[in-house]
Amino acid sequence: MAYQTFRQEYLQVPPVTRAYTTACVLTTAAVQLELITPFQLYFNPELIFKHFQIWRLITNYLFFGPVGFNFLFNMIFLYRYCRMLEEGSFRGRTADFVFMFLFGGLLMTLFGLFVNLVFLGQAFTIMLVYVWSRRNPYVRMNFFGLLIFQAPFLPWVLMGFSLLLGNSIIVDLLGIAVGHIYFFLEDVFPNQPGGRRLLRTPSVLKAVFDTPEEDPNYNPLPEERP
């Protein structure tokens, strides 16, 4: 009975969110079980381009460290904001959501060549948070019951939290920068005088991922309601 309930809930998660969070959890489990090591996953341009270990372009986004507070914190934020984006502003536009993943991942990989970061998953999470927060500017947030603020301040609050924990803020700044570039090109620049859409989802992605019809019974998440 419990398995059936879990399976039903799991299958109700939107496909991109389900695939990405599952890959992250399975990668972490494989490391915990010592089936693989983080040294086989981390971002290393020399190993990628000289030794053709191409999988590192993907695996460095899937590992968030050993199971603990930092891992759970990142998984909660990743699942929550990835799902709200996919069920909100990207509803019925799975191909556009996948394209955002690819665009953000490409930019972060390019920036990763110039900063000393070996895992980019946390920066990717901040990017998702940033895009969601800018598309939902009037949502009021409550951070652990300590702070109440509007959604656009959330990425900066998270950066301040990382600073208090003694972590490097380079990860947060990278995620904010990539998120802002995407938001500007997709939401701001096309609406400016003389502006136009520079980011266009390839037709092959639309053919693979987009569904032709919208669910008439969709009930928006509380966070997405006016």
Q: Which residue(s) pair with 147 in the sheet?
A: 143
- Residue 35: strand, helix, or coil: coil
Q: What is the pLDDT of residue 226?
A: 45
Q: How many helices (H) and strands (E) does the chain have?
A: 10, 2
Measured from the Cβ of residue 141, the count of other Cβ atoms closer than 10 Å reads: 16
70: nearest Cα among 154, 182, 171: 171
Q: Where are the domains positioned within the chain?
A: 1-197
User: pLDDT by residue for the chain (226 residues), tens digit each?
Assistant: 667 787 888 888 999 999 999 999 999 999 999 999 999 999 999 999 899 999 999 999 999 988 888 889 889 999 999 999 999 999 989 999 999 999 999 999 999 888 888 999 999 999 999 999 999 999 998 877 778 889 999 999 989 888 887 778 899 999 999 999 999 999 999 888 887 888 899 999 988 887 655 555 556 555 555 4
CATH 1.20.1540.10 fits 1-197, yes or no: yes
What angle in degrees, to the nearest 10, is found between the helix axes of 94-112 and 69-87?
A: 140
Q: What is the pLDDT of residue 225?
A: 55
Q: Which two tokens stand for residue 223?
A: 């966070």
d(CA 76, CA 73): 5
Q: What is the pLDDT of residue 2?
A: 66
Q: What is the pLDDT of residue 112?
A: 87
Q: What is the pLDDT of residue 3?
A: 72
172: nearest Cα among 104, 131, 125, 103: 125
